[in-house]
């Protein structure tokens, strides 16, 4: 696993630009408008430090998180203990996994859909279908590439300071294989923790998923139907009308 995920506190600061309560409002709007069952339980794939766990449990949802990284899961356990939440944190691989029970809502955030090829994409969706109740929703944040990393090699960077810890984050993408649609994502954290400097680098190979192949994949998959896709976590902004695509979300329903 990437050393990036051995540093949950720094990772949490790096990605703390999100408005968590507003994002949980968007989840709930999806439940109201598109779920065909009452949503009481949720599963976050690649949960990491479980940024939405506190808000979700406060609103009465039963939280489940699955991650490969022990350090991330330990960090989330500590958080759950501090807030007194009863949660289920599981070490597992989202490529192929199972759960003891079933859930009403599954979500994966910040492009964390970790599949390296088409066969992993298929086993991943089969696993989600096994754990998601019929009528429930699967929510994917930035997991489809509308601006192909293969087309424009590029990146982004930003800086955030919390409690005396400064984290400068840089994300970049590089094509690995155009036929296999693989690209390498590099995330670098330059940390200044009260004067102590660290440089943390995480590299992952991912398979790009392009919009029209995603629609074909879903329509050929008997367990899911496409509900919609929107820009900027805003259900008033269908992607078809977006000029610049940023933080796009996709919603599927289990059938
Ligand atoms: C980008 S972080 C996202 C963390 C959190 N969901 C968030 O929104 O900030 C990705 C997480 O996915 C986990 N991860 C990466 N590959 C995985 C896999 N194959 N199965 C399960 N978790 C995985 C990493 O350990 C990491 O915690």
- State pLDDT tens for residues 155-171: 889 999 999 999 999 99
Enter the tokens of residue 122. 């298929």
Give pLDDT tens digits for 119-139. 999 999 999 999 999 999 999
Give just the sign of the alpha carbon dihedral 232, 205, 132, 147: positive
Residue 194 has pLDDT above 60, yes or no: yes
Nearby residues of 14 by Cβ (< 8 Å), 6 or more positions away: 160, 167, 169, 187, 189
Q: Is 146 or 59 the better-scoring residue by pLDDT?
A: 59
Q: What pLDDT band is residue 73 in, cutting at 50, 70 and 90?
A: very high
pLDDT of residue 155: 83
Cβ–ligand 1 distance for 72 under 6 Å, the answer: yes
Give pLDDT tens digits for 97-106. 999 999 999 9
79 C-alpha to center of ligand 1: Å?
Answer: 17
Q: Is 126 or 153 the better-scoring residue by pLDDT?
A: 126
pLDDT of residue 148: 58
Give pLDDT tens digits for 210-250. 999 999 999 999 999 999 999 999 999 999 999 999 999 99
- DSSP-derived letter for residue 156 is E
- Domain spanning 155-207, CATH architecture: Single Sheet (2.20)
Q: What pLDDT band is residue 149 in, cutting at 50, 70 and 90?
A: low
Residues 69-80, mean pLDDT to the nearest whole number: 98
* Cα–Cα separations (whole angstroms), residue 36 to 33, 141, 236, 254: 9, 21, 21, 9
46 C-alpha to center of ligand 1: Å?
Answer: 3
pLDDT of residue 147: 79
The model carries a pTM of 0.96
* Cα–Cα separations (whole angstroms), residue 80 to 33, 155, 212, 213: 29, 33, 39, 38
Cβ–ligand 1 distance for 114 under 6 Å, the answer: yes
* Distance of alpha carbon 46 from alpha carbon 108, whole angstroms: 7
Q: Identify the burial level of 241 via C-beta atoms within 10 angstroms of its C-beta, where 0-12 means exposed, 13-18 middle and 19 or more buried.
A: exposed
Q: What pLDDT band is residue 153 in, cutting at 50, 70 and 90?
A: low
- Domain spanning 3-144+209-254, CATH architecture: 3-Layer(aba) Sandwich (3.40)
pLDDT of residue 204: 93
How far is C-alpha 12 from the chain's CA centre? 14
76 C-alpha to center of ligand 1: Å?
Answer: 12
**Percentage of residues in the chain with pLDDT exceeding 70?**
97
Give just the sign of the alpha carbon dihedral 92, 249, 175, 72: negative
Give pLDDT tens digits for 29-63. 999 999 999 999 999 999 999 999 999 999 999 99
Give just the sign of the alpha carbon dihedral 149, 19, 24, 71: positive
* Most informative mutation of 67, 116, 121, 207 for ligand 1 (most atoms within 8 A of CB): 67
Give pLDDT tens digits for 168-182. 999 999 999 999 999
- Point out the ligand 1 atom lying closest to the alpha carbon of residue 141: 8
Q: Is 155 or 91 the better-scoring residue by pLDDT?
A: 91
Nearby residues of 149 by Cβ (< 8 Å), 6 or more positions away: 173, 174, 175, 183, 185, 208
Q: Where are the domains of the chain?
A: 3-144+209-254, 155-207
């Amino acid at each position: 696993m990437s050393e990036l995920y051995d540093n949950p506190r720094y990772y949490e600061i790096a990605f703390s630009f999100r408005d968590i309560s507003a994002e949980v409002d968007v989840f709930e709007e999806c439940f109201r408008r598109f779920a065909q069952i009452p949503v009481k339980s949720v599963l976050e794939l690649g949960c990491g430090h479980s940024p939405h766990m506190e808000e979700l449990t406060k609103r009465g949802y039963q939280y489940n998180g699955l991650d490969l990284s022990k350090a991330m899961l330990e960090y989330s356990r500590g958080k759950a203990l501090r807030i007194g939440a009863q949660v289920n944190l599981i070490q597992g691989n989202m490529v192929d996994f199972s759960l003891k029970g079933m859930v009403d809502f599954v979500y994966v955030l910040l492009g964390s859909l970790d599949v390296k090829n088409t066969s992993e994409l298929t086993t991943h969706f089969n696993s989600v279908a096994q754990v998601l109740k019929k009528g429930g929703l699967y929510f994917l944040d930035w997991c489809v590439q509308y601006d192909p990393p293969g087309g424009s090699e590029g990146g982004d960077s930003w800086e955030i300071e919390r409690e005396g810890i400064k984290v400068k984050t840089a994300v970049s993408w590089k094509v690995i294989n155009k036929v296999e649609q693989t690209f390498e994502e590099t995330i670098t954290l330059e940390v200044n923790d009260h004067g102590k400097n660290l440089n943390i680098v995480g590299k992952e190979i991912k398979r790009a998923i392009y919009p029209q192949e995603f629609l074909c994949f879903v329509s050929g998959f008997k367990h899911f139907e496409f509900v919609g896709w929107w820009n900027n976590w805003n259900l008033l902004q269908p992607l078809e009308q977006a000029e610049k695509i940023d933080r796009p979300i996709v919603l599927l329903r289990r059938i």
